[in-house]
Amino acid sequence: MSSQLTLTGSGFRDAGTSQVSANTPDDWKIACDRVIQKFAAADRTFTAEDVRAVVGDPPHHPNAMGARFLAAAKAQLIVRVGYCTPARSSRHANALAVWRGLRP
């Protein structure tokens, strides 16, 4: 028998998110969180591409951006309202989440 815990899909996601977040510089995480908060306070939808245009690419791993959005969603700051096609060709036209801030 394996001593490894059996994880669900969300368990694997959370473990990966924790790992990438731990390896991301604090100054980039803080800047990213501030921009997400700014967009969340505005009465409009936004995507990670909008945030990336302000704070730049994550310095350690591309999944760091998703980790910040997941943290904001878990904190009930934002909610996913749909999907769109990303403008960046490196995204290979995969689904890009569209977010909106939650009103307190």
Chain segment 36-91, per-residue pLDDT in tens:
999 999 989 999 999 999 999 999 888 999 999 999 999 999 999 999 988 876 66
pLDDT band at residue 3 using 50, 70 and 90 as cut-offs: very low
SS3 content of the chain, % helix, strand, coil (to 5): 50, 15, 35
Give the helix ranges, DSSP H, for the chain: 9-22, 26-41, 48-55, 63-74
- pLDDT value for 93: 65
**What would be the CATH architecture of the domain defined by 10-101?**
Orthogonal Bundle (1.10)
Domain ranges of the chain: 10-101
Q: How far apart are CA 88 and CA 21, in angstroms?
A: 23
